[in-house]
Amino acid sequence: MSHREYGKNRKPRRLLVTGGAGFIGANFVHYWSARYASDRLVILDALTYAGNRNNLRELEGRENFRFVQGNICDRHLVDILLKEEAIDTIAHFAAESHVDRSILGPAAFIETNVIGTFTLLEAFRQHWQSQQNPEEYRFLHVSTDEVYGSLGPDEPAFTETSPYAPNSPYSASKAGSDHLARAYFHTYGVPTLITNCSNNYGPYHFPEKLIPLMCINMLLGKPLPVYGDGQNIRDWLYVTDHCRALDAVIHGGKPGETYNIGGNNQVKNIDLVRTLCKIMDEMAPNLPVRPCEQLIVFVKDRPGHDRRYAIDATKIKTELGWMPSVTLEEGLRRTVEWYLKHEDWWKPLLSEEYQAYYRKVYA
């Protein structure tokens, strides 16, 4: 069965999307509402610094859309939503996700990523059991390739059976949540699905992450800080391709299984930044500094900085027919264009709190 066929002859789903006002979550909500207009989408988001209700502005007021501001650790609220909305699918994106912030303050990462995931799993287990364990129910846990640790230059890419070796408080908290999702399938039979993806990029990306940070700093004529020697390698996945993969996993994935989702785009950080500079030079007419490459500065490396990540996505390609469709060059162009057109979105995010965080990390 190809990925395109998963949407045929299906009953409408009723989804609870946690973290749906964040970067990947919001892109998923836009993707899903466009593809499956008859599905009910209930968004639960705490609207912390990286959650932005403006990410979902175009969907507000639609009949099948509901936004709820709240915390995934609030068991009472989660129970009410599962019952009231007759939820059959949880798409769990809500997470603290920035390595630098996890180094500065790890407690929030344990609270949201471990306790929050446990709260959702336990609520969903009881909800599922109260409905006599329906076969079509799904709990999708969206995770990261960082749980596998770091790769040497010549080591093969991570597969679903790679041992866990997290190196930051962030990746350790995500590893813990992965283990909980797996345990709930094996202990209780809860129909969980785990996905581990490589670095996402695209629209609605909070400006502390590498690609939006570089885009915005170029537009402002500010330095482009690159950690260490810039030789760290990441695999980059355009966010819409990730949403297509999650669609395939929800509809065709086997409960209890893990699926690695990668973009087949391994690039050194410094090469990625230089490519972005060239695209920005070409696409932005009124840059304060041109060429942008002269803004690159190397800064003190992040503690415990993983050298290389790479995803082997053979399993999801073989079993579910998914492959990335957007090349890195095309995805970066789309992303730069989005930031050029949406200054009204990113300018308000550069708050004093953000500036203070930025100085602390890159000073």
Q: Which residues are catalytic?
A: 145-146, 170
How far are the Cα atoms of 82, 93, 134, 169 from residue 98, in angstroms, in the given order? Answer: 29, 14, 36, 10
Identify each DSSP E strand in the chain by its residue range.
14-18, 40-45, 65-69, 89-92, 138-144, 192-197, 199-201, 224-227, 233-238, 258-261, 266-268, 296-299
Tell me if residue 141 falls in helix, strand or coil. Answer: strand
In angstroms, the CA 138 to CA 185 distance is 11
How far are the Cα atoms of 89, 262, 332 from residue 323, in angstroms, in the given order? Answer: 24, 9, 18
Cβ atoms 180, 118 nearer than 8 A: yes
Rg over alpha carbons for the chain, rounded to the nearest Å, is 20
Tell me if residue 199 falls in helix, strand or coil. Answer: strand
Q: For residue 66, count CB atoms less than 10 angstroms from its CB and return exposed for 0-12, middle for 13-18, buried for 19 or more.
A: middle
Question: What tokens were used for 261?
Answer: 């989702």
Is the Cα torsion angle 342, 268, 357, 106 positive or negative in sign? Answer: positive
